[in-house]
Structure 1
């Protein structure tokens, strides 16, 4: 289903007390992708010691962004997910080769969809969209501790 690339190449980066951990997963843009990515991200951040409500927020927002990439990206495309964990936060970026620029929607209460980016905006510490010649990356950050 997915191609996991562990970016923690240096021995010091593999230790639990390392400053920054990073990983990447590439999956096909299909219905099962959000579930596969969500489970991978949850294992990755749990292994880094991130728990509690931060863990749950990252899980929800990751699933939303991957779902958007699958629904709005090209059929049979790839979705690339990057996770970066440091002492302050978790950053997740979801890249696809779809066109257009996502916007925050405010659908009617009875609408069946359209709330994903509104959730990202409301629950993340920061978020944004980075455009590329071949698509875009939508990313968010969640702080892992209170100041």
Structure 2
């Protein structure tokens, strides 16, 4: 007879009694906001059993979107980070009051910045933007979870 494994720690088992997560975090548009957002998202998704490479990709992409909001939004503004976790997908959204429209760039290899949305495009399952009538925008990404 083979070894008995505790399957209650497997991500799919942890999600079996699970309820959707829908939460928000408001941060000042300051230099440390990306780190705070990454840690908040990582703790929340780990509590839902999202681990391994999915967790790392979500951490990286969250930091990229919040960094963009801090750099391109108003210096005295706020950044609203949204998190939704369901059985199959994690969605992170980042809203700021900046007026610019995000676009994917492909900078020269020696350029110091400009790769954030290219990473989001390459590593997420889907991503997009929405502009708001009261000004500002939301940039979001989805990561499909492994079974």
In the TM superposition, residue 16 of structure 1 has moved relative to its aligned partner by 7.5
Q: Is the 8 A contact 1:16 1:48 kept in 2?
A: no
Provide the C-alpha distance between the structure 1 equivalents of 2:68 and 2:128, rounded to a whole number of angstroms: 14
Instruction: Note the residue ranges of structure 2 that are not aligned, 5 or more in a row.
Output: 1-14
Query: Any runs of at least 4 consecutive aligned residues in structure 1 with deviations exceeding 4 A, and if so which?
Result: none
Provide the C-alpha distance between the structure 2 equivalents of 1:50 and 1:58, rounded to a whole number of angstroms: 10
TM-score of the two chains, using structure 1 as the length reference:
0.87
Q: Is the 8 A contact 2:66 2:94 kept in 1?
A: yes
Instruction: Report the count of equivalent residues.
Output: 132
In the TM superposition, residue 22 of structure 1 has moved relative to its aligned partner by 1.2
Larger radius of gyration: 2
Are 1:52 and 2:52 counterparts? yes
* Bigger strand fraction: 1
Aligned to 1:123: 123
Query: Deviation digits for residues 101-144 of structure 1, max 9, x if unmatched?
Result: 11000000000000000000000000000110221000000011
Instruction: Note the residue ranges of structure 1 that are not aligned, 5 or more in a row.
Output: 1-14
Aligned to 1:139: 140
